[in-house]
Structure 1
């Protein structure tokens, strides 16, 4: 497993990697590692159903709030950011609607607001 993680990190010019058994395991690991009680997430409104359930139901039980926006409209992202926002979570293209978010622009918004950007596809 470590060889796979190191290989992907090298190919992507990253400093490290973590391989998981599924996409939901990956996103759950990210959320549980970087969010704490009182945190807020801005997320693409048409994300994968299980990811939405994780945000709307499971993380809410731990005091993590979320706002869902059409992330292809960058002003919607900006308006949804509040002082407790810690993470911008986008899926692009979304499944099944194929909504596209400009990753570079979303990254600039996240950077300007001091947020972690998570991109799922």
Structure 2
């Protein structure tokens, strides 16, 4: 626990990193190449899951929780968005209704009593 926040690589950040690379560079193959090692990790280490953190230096040994939901979610989200983009940075073609609205509508707000 002493080095939990000093040196390890957090797996969930790989998804946003790959998406940012894709949006800036416009190269889906290069962006997906960042995510490719996770496919091997899914098969070998966590049997369908991704570890919470990895050592910051090679060989990038998995540490922490062996099955971290946000690590899996962000990797899959990025993979789906990049692979489903048709090679064009921007929206992935998902229906707008599937996205979270920028601001949720106000419901049942009460006025402050005087």
TM interval, short-chain normalised: under 0.3
Q: How does the TM-score come out when normalised to structure 1?
A: 0.24
Q: Greater relative contact order: 1 or 2 (C-alpha under 8 angstroms, separation 6 or more)?
A: 2
* Structure index of larger Rg: 2
Q: How does the TM-score come out when normalised to structure 2?
A: 0.25
Higher strand content, 1 or 2: 1
